[in-house]
Each structure stands twice: as C-alpha cells, then as structure tokens.
C-alpha cells in the first residue's frame, strides 16, 4: 500500500498461543477444559483474563477461578474477545515510543471500548455485544504503527492537527501517503480479525453510516467521539440536558439507535471502569500511582483524533 509497510516486521503478528486458542474456541468439538489447558500454558495471559473477568467491568457475583469456568460462564464468543484484548498489550509492548502518549492512547481506546460495549448491550438490534469491546480497543491501532515507524512524522502530524485544527486523516495522507485508518485495516486483515471489527475501524471517522454494518459502525463512531469528552469524577452526564448539549456537537449521533439515557449510562460506566480494565489488561501497573493517566485530562492533548 505504501512505503511505510515496506520496512521489515512493521506489522506485528499475534502470538502463537492466541492463534492456537482461537482455533480451539471456534471448534465446537473442543471442550472448555481443553481450551483452558491451552490458555494456561501462558500464565501471564491466564492471569490477565481472570483479572479482567473478575473486575467490575463484568460485575459477576462470584469470582471466576479458571479459564474453563470463564468458558462455561461467559461463553466462547466472549472469551474470544477477552483473549484478544489480553494479548494486545503484549503484542504492542515494543511500541513504546518516546514522545507518543502511550498511556493516554490506551485510556482513550479502553474508554471507547467500554462505551461501545455498553451501548451495544442496551441496543435490541445488536446480538454480539463483546465484539464491540474489541472494535473500540482496536479502532486507533494504526497510530501505534505510525509512531513506531516514523515518530517524527507522528510529531509533525500531531502539531498540525493541534495548531491548525485540520483533519487528521488529511494530514496523514499528505505527509505519509497513508492514514492510521488504512494501516489499522491492514493490520487487522493480517490478524484475521472479523469483518465487522474491520468495518468499524474503517469508518470510525465517518459521519454517514450505511450498509450491513451501519448500526455497528455508528456505535463505534459515537463511542470514539464520546470517549474524547472530559469525563471528570462526578460529571457523568446525569443531567440529560447537559448531555444533549454535547450530543448536538456530534453529527448523526442518533444513527446509532441509542437514546440519550443509554448514552448517559454508558459514559458513567466507562468513567467508573476504565482504570480497572487498564490495570487488568496490564496497560498500567496497579502499584504505580504516578503512572496512571489523569482521568480529567482532555483528549485533545493526546494529539490523536
């Protein structure tokens, strides 16, 4: 597609344990015990999955103590999404580039993922809720590749977006000949991620949503916009009138088929859950308070749009 992709090993691969477990999950003849055995060959991955499943994000009454228990309780499809989120940090561990706001990047991605999942759960037209977490988590993944391969270009693009208010994808095309959206799609196709997730990544900057995945892409678009708002502690849009003022700034937000009340709930839950989810997935260390992003930090400061 572009010279950016010609550099060796530019697009990271998913680890072998993910490919093996994912294959087992999709095979109905494989038992929950066999799936659990495959996951548990990677103790760190097992710990991240169990920590996330036992967090407030899932709100389970009783603790889950094993991967087979996760399969029986949540189902194969949900484990598939949790698995991908749990391996993603490891895949991107070498993408910690000087000058790139990694923690804030994950904060935005996680908030987008949580908002999208909760909006999907409240939408009667959506069946698979968990896949929205994956789509939200991965929607800006192309930015990591840009930062890793060409950090100077990332800094230049960020400066232009911040100081001149130009559209990110337009600047990317002018400077790199490719956008973070296109890079993200290339990466997801390499990983074999399902088409719905790819479509959500492709259209998360678009205002108009049509076609077979119109509602799904609209939800990710809306979640991406909402996650950039300053959700300070105690300011969860409990006043619907305040939220409506915010929604007026988001074109076509109603195409997601979500009500303002549902959006208010999703934002509130994202504000409550994002930090615990980041710690569970290993994006933050729970014993390093100074490393945690400021919950009230404005996303415009991330230079990622």
Residues 182-207 pLDDT 10s: 999 988 988 888 789 999 999 999 99
Tell the residue number behind the tokens 């968990």, with chain if given: 130
Domain extent at residue 75: 3-302
Separation between Cα atoms, residue 205 and residue 220, nearest integer Å: 9
CB contact at 8 A, 236 and 264: yes
Query: Which CATH number is 283's domain given?
Result: 1.10.3210.10
The rounded distance, in Å, linking the Cα atoms of 26 and 18 is 12
**pLDDT tens profile 258-272:** 998 899 999 989 988
Residues 84, 109: Cα–Cα separation, whole Å: 14
Tokens found for residue 99:
């000058």
Whether 67 contacts 30, CB under 8 Å: no
pLDDT recorded at residue 141: 92
- Cβ neighbours around 230 below 10 Å, total: 11
d(CA 39, CA 41): 5
Q: For residue 116, what pLDDT is reported? A: 96
Crossing angle of helices 67-74 and 32-39, rounded to 10°? 130
In angstroms, rounded to a whole number, what is the distance separating the alpha carbons of residues 130 and 128? 6
186-190 contacts at long range (C-beta below 8 A, 24 or more positions apart): 186/1, 186/5, 186/11, 186/142, 187/11, 187/12, 187/141, 187/142, 187/145, 188/138, 188/141, 190/11, 190/13
Burial class of residue 115, CB neighbours in 10 A (0-12, 13-18, 19+): buried
pLDDT in tens, the chain (305 residues): 455 665 545 677 888 999 999 999 999 999 999 999 999 999 988 998 999 999 988 888 899 999 999 998 888 888 888 888 888 877 876 677 777 888 889 999 999 999 999 999 998 888 888 889 999 999 999 998 888 888 888 889 988 988 888 888 999 999 988 999 999 998 898 888 878 999 999 999 999 998 889 999 999 999 999 998 755 444 555 566 678 888 888 999 999 999 988 999 999 899 889 999 999 888 877 655 444 555 444 433 454 55
Q: Whole-angstrom Cα distance, residue 286 to residue 268?
A: 22
What's the rounded Cα separation, in Å, for the pair 103 and 138? 15
Do residues 58 and 41 touch, judged by C-beta distance below 8 A? no
Q: How many domains does the chain have?
A: 1
Model pLDDT, residue 301: 41
Q: For residues 249 and 53, what is the distance between their CA atoms, to the nearest angstrom?
A: 35
Residue 149 has what pLDDT? Answer: 84
pTM score, whole prediction: 0.88
Helix (H, G, I), strand (E, B) or coil at 198: helix
Tokens of 268: 């509130």
Quickly tell me which residue has 């937000």 as its tokens: 253
Rounded Cα gap, residues 84 and 112, in angstroms: 16
Residue count of the chain: 305
Strand extents, DSSP E, the chain: none
CA distance 298 to 105: 12
Q: Cα torsion for 296, 301, 302, 305, to the nearest 10°?
A: 110
DSSP 303: T
């Amino acid at each position: 597609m572009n010279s950016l992709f010609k550099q060796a090993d530019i697009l990271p691969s998913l680890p072998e344990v993910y490919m093996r477990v994912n294959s087992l999950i999709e095979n109905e003849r494989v038992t929950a015990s066999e799936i659990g055995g495959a996951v548990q060959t990677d103790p760190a991955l097992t710990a991240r999955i169990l920590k996330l499943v036992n967090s407030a994000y899932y709100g389970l009454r009783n603790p889950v103590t094993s991967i087979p228990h996760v399969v029986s309780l949540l189902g194969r499809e949900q484990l598939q999404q949790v698995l991908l989120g749990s391996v993603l940090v490891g895949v991107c561990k070498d993408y910690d580039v000087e000058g790139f706001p990694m923690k804030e990047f994950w904060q935005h991605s996680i908030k987008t993922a949580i908002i999208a999942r909760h909006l999907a759960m409240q939408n009667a037209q959506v069946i698979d809720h968990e896949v929205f977490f994956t789509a939200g988590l991965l929607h800006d993944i192309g930015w990591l590749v840009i930062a890793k391969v060409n950090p100077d270009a990332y800094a230049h693009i960020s400066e232009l977006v911040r100081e001149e208010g130009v559209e990110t994808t337009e600047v990317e095309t002018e400077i790199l000949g490719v956008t973070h959206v296109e890079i993200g799609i290339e990466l997801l196709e390499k990983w074999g991620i399902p088409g719905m997730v790819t479509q959500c990544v492709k259209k998360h900057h678009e205002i108009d949503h049509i076609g077979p995945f119109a509602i799904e892409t609209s939800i990710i678009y809306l979640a991406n916009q909402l996650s950039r708002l300053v959700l300070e502690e105690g300011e969860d849009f409990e006043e619907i009138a305040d939220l409506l003022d915010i929604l007026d700034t988001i074109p076509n937000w109603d195409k997601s088929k979500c009500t303002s009340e549902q959006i208010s709930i999703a934002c509130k839950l994202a504000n409550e859950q994002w930090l615990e989810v980041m710690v569970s997935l290993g994006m933050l260390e729970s014993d390093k308070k100074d490393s945690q992003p400021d919950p009230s930090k404005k996303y415009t400061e991330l230079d990622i749009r």
